[in-house]
Chains A and B, each alone.
Chain A
Amino acid sequence: AQTVTQSQPEMSVQEAETVTLSCTYDTSESDYYLFWYKQPPSRQMILVIRQEAYKQQNATENRFSVNFQKAAKSFSLKISDSQLGDAAMYFCAYRRITQGGSEKLVFGKGTKLTVNP
């Protein structure tokens, strides 16, 4: 079964600094999608970035980038120039296609990011 592990329950970073959130996953599939979702105190789930496993190039979205290591099954999120608005829970998620042809997201337990002014 696919599992997603986020080993850092909490992280903190100074404003304008860079922080990296870790995520590892377990799968026997060769093609899949990985996502980072952000959940601020408003509790809205917001997609930050996604990575397609067949693409070797790491995804980037403005200040957010990933380090995707397929062989190591690692998918870390780097936030550059951290801003106060980045403070939130961050969830790593694996998109699993079931045998019946449906899809679901399998989430890690989340990392709470605090940004200090």
Chain B
Amino acid sequence: DTAVSQTPKYLVTQMGNDKSIKCEQNLGHDTMYWYKQDSKKFLKIMFSYNNKELIINETVPNRFSPKSPDKAHLNLHINSLELGDSAVYFCASSPGILGSYNEQFFGPGTRLTVL
């Protein structure tokens, strides 16, 4: 049974388009994240939500807008896609800082290619 799922797994689109990536976790965690992995495999946090509230926003362009309709879902919408947005985007979840089990569980990633 999948713990953290993302859709789609692959996304190919043209520059200037708007696209969304969806993430769902069934672990009952309070905190969810978006990470970006660039072409050199470097992973960096973009956003974090705790119980639907944005708590981390790491100097990401305004074209990126996360939305958390409930604590089990965290979606990422990207406007006006640029070539530099091509990357793998990972969703993750964790119990948060109050949780005794401190692992972050990652989704399978979404490979976004902007042409």
Contact = CB atoms under 8 A, between A and B. Distances in A.
Asked if A and B bind, the verdict is yes
Interface of A: 33, 35, 37, 39, 42-45, 47, 50, 89, 91, 95, 97-98, 100-107, 109-110
Contacts of A47: 103
B106 to A, nearest CB: 4
B97 A97 contact: yes
Contacts of B44: 107
Interface of B: 31, 33, 35, 40-45, 48, 50, 55-56, 58, 88, 90, 92, 94, 96-97, 102-104, 106, 108-109, 111
Nearest to B98: A101
A42 B111 CA distance: 12
B50 A105 contact: no
Contacts of B108: 42-44
Chain B at the A interface: mostly helix, strand, loop or mixed? Answer: strand
Contacts of B102: 33, 50, 95, 103
A50 B56 contact: no
Contacts of B111: 43
A110 B41 contact: yes
